[in-house]
Amino acid sequence: MVKLGILTSLTAIVCALGIATSSADDAGKPCKRQDFKTELVKNACAKGGQDAARDAMKAWNKDKKITNCNKCHTKLAPNYELKDDGLKQFTDLGGK
């Protein structure tokens, strides 16, 4: 009977750790950039990390009928470096 109690306790601990770990992973990888020039990316990074920022930009690109991320970025993941006129292109299309 004692062994069953110990086994039950260990199972409960393992389950609790699993739930705690999975909720920490839900935020995704953090954004590499720390200084944000746009509200869209800043808010998305705060909510869901790099994956959320990428999804927000993809949705914005689709809305603005932009077919390729490389129109504004010289390199993509993990740093998403902008071209010299990348931010200007974003703001000219109404991005904030």
Half-sphere exposure of 80 (CA within 13 A, CB side): 18
Question: Are 73 and 83 spatial neighbours (Cβ–Cβ below 8 Å)?
Answer: yes
Q: Which residues contact 8 (CB under 8 A, 6 or more apart)?
A: none
40-81 per-position pLDDT tens digit: 999 999 999 999 999 999 999 999 999 999 999 999 988 899
DSSP 47-82: HHHHHHHHHHHHHHHHHTT---GGGTBSS-TTT-PB
Report residue 28 CA to chain centroid gap: 6
pLDDT band, very low/low/confident/very high, at 13 (cuts 50, 70, 90) = low
Q: Using a pLDDT cut of 90, give the percent of the chain over it.
A: 56
Report residue 87 CA to chain centroid gap: 19
> Residue ranges of the domains in the chain?
27-96
Intra-chain end-to-end CA distance of the chain, in Å: 64
pLDDT band, very low/low/confident/very high, at 5 (cuts 50, 70, 90) = low
